[in-house]
Amino acid sequence: MCPIITHEDELELANTEKDLVSHMKKLAKAQNSLIKTQEKYAEALRKSNIEREMLNRTFRDVLKQMQTLVREKRSNIQDEEVNLFQDIIHKNDMYIEVNNKYIDAIKNLTLKKEYFVKKKEELANALDEVAGKRGALIKKALNVEKAKNKLIEGEKLKNLDSELNDYQREFDRARDVLIKKIHQFIEVRDELNELWIQLKNSVSKSS
């Protein structure tokens, strides 16, 4: 047997929706803070990569001099040293390339996350609107029901029904907006998930 749904249940839903809106906005605020941290991290990585590039240039200068001197037996330069420096330079080139891809992936992710948070805030605002309209509609319906029980005049009752219909239309419009915002939210969320995968795939050895 199905439970009887009352106006109180619908009002409770509206109140719970308000709670949900509050938590969504708190999460959006926390995510905005996290995005700023990730942006700073990407910038720090970029600066580190620039320093690595400068380091590698100097390594190449040293290597070039070593390669010239190693031809002389009395130069105190061994082939092993030259080979080791060549390996370091080669690995650094790889690390620079990997880090650049990683930095780009982080930047793409943070940009999409900013857009995602915006969509989350829009969704929260739309839900807040629905909750408000829902509560107003239920209260109006209760007032109309009370008026009908008092057997008020037909013209007044007609006006009340007309007002109730206006409330219903406002609620329907708000709900349509909410549904649209939910679809947008889901679409951007899926795009963001793909960028997380790209970020994961960009991670490699980059000491």
Q: How far apart are CA 145 and CA 157, in angstroms?
A: 10
- Does 2 fall in a domain? no
Q: The domain spanning residue 55 has which CATH number?
A: 1.20.1270
- Does 14 fall in a domain? no
Which residues, 6 or more positions from 26, have their beta carbon under 8 angstroms from its beta carbon? none
- Does 98 fall in a domain? yes
Q: Which two tokens stand for residue 194?
A: 């793909």
- Does 83 fall in a domain? yes
Count of the separate structural domains present in the chain: 1
Average pLDDT over residues 101-110: 94
Residue 22 above 70 pLDDT?
yes
The Cα-based distances of 23 to 115, 140, 182 in angstroms read 19, 28, 16
pLDDT at 14: 93
- Give 5's DSSP letter: P
- Does 142 fall in a domain? yes
Q: How far apart are CA 174 and CA 158, in angstroms?
A: 25
- Does 12 fall in a domain? no
Residue 206 above 90 pLDDT?
no
Residue located via tokens 């109140």: 15
Range of the domain at 98: 22-202
